[in-house]
Amino acid sequence: MNEFKGRTLSWQIVNGAIELALHRDPCNEIGSLTLDELEQFAAALPGLANEAHVLIIHSTLKAGFSAGADLRELFERGQEMDKAAARRGVREFLERIHAVMNALDATPLTTIAAVHGVTFGGGFELALVCDIIIADRMARFCFPELRLGLIPGFGGIPRLKRDLGNAVVRDLLLTGRSFNVMKAQQIGLVSQIAAEGEALRVARATASQMGKFDRRTAAAAKDFVKPIPYEELKREIDIFCDLYSRPAVEEGLRKFVENEGVQPYLP
């Protein structure tokens, strides 16, 4: 399936690059519908990879790349069922999203996240599975999960640890602060900074350059330098589920969902 138009995302092959576009209003919150379509993409990826050399993930929404997990859905589903069923549901969701993230991480294609605006939580984690992050000047990154009594659950901590120094990881995780693209490049997270609205264009130019390389060599180089921390990823799911069962999380989610103020990202 070389082309797909879904309710939350679409993909097509353009000049040898698979372009996966996120487009679920208001800011690509990742809930069950997005997960379903991401799974469809992951299933199609091996076939797509035969006809492309690069994968670019980007958002068509003005607000940003992705605000992360759909916390409203997480809260509301938790209210609809008993605690044990809610915990099982969360674990199942995490195992499914991890399978998608791992498939994206492990693909022999070179992968680029072209991000702009809000790149928070699960959206940040989606960008982290990519080999390279190209960011718009107005991009902003954050792991806000501790504000809710949780840790990032889509593989963010092991992948951030893989890519950055531990002191930086502790800073970003334990303060929960958001940071801009200059900081992101300074710490080694962002490869290139694009002008406002130009991240996708820069990503396409980079993909074009990558298309000049032998695919098998590029895949071997990636496999050599980018180990996937499977054991830590499994442990992250366990820690998340353990924390999720605490009453403080339900209150944190309720506060977020019911917040009608102008700063819901600053609980």
Q: Where in 200-239 is the site for another protein (CB under 8 A)?
A: none
List 49, 103, 106, 138, residue binding another protein (CB under 8 A): 138
Contact with another protein (CB under 8 A): which of 6, 89, 229, 264? Answer: 264
Q: Applying CB under 8 A, does 31 fall inside the site for another protein?
A: no
Enumerate the H helices of the chain as residue ranges: 32-48, 71-80, 83-106, 121-128, 156-163, 166-175, 181-186, 199-210, 215-225, 230-244, 247-258
Residue 199 interacts with another protein (CB under 8 A)? no
Shorter beta-carbon distance to another protein: residue 64 or 153 = 64
Q: Kindly tell me which of 1 and 266 has the beta carbon lying closer to another protein.
A: 266
How many whole angstroms separate alpha carbon 240 and alpha carbon 100?
A: 18
Shortest distance (Å) from residue 181 CB to another protein:
8
Residues 154 to 183 in contact with another protein, rule: CB under 8 A: 175-180, 182-183
Q: Minimum distance from CB of 32 to another protein (Å)?
A: 23
* 262 contributes a contact to another protein by CB under 8 A: yes
Q: Kindly state the number of chain residues that form the binding site for another protein, as judged by CB under 8 A.
A: 23
Q: How far is CA 92 from CA 6, 44, 89, in A?
A: 23, 21, 5
- Residue 42 CA to residue 20 CA, distance in Å, equals 11
DSSP per-residue codes, 117-154: BEEEHHHHHHHHTSSEEEEETT-EEE--GGGGT----S
Q: Which residues contact 109 (CB under 8 A, 6 or more apart)?
A: 18, 45, 49, 52, 53, 54, 55, 219
Is residue 187 part of the contact set for another protein (CB under 8 A)?
no
- Residue 10 or residue 180: which is nearer to another protein going by CB? 180
For the bound state, the minimum distance from the C-beta of residue 62 to another protein, rounded and expressed in Å, comes to: 9
Minimum gap (Å) between residue 16 Cβ and another protein? 33
> Which positions ≥6 away from 39 have C-beta within 8 Å?
96, 99, 100
Q: Which residues bind another protein (CB under 8 A)?
A: 27, 63-64, 117-118, 137-138, 140, 142, 175-180, 182-183, 261-266
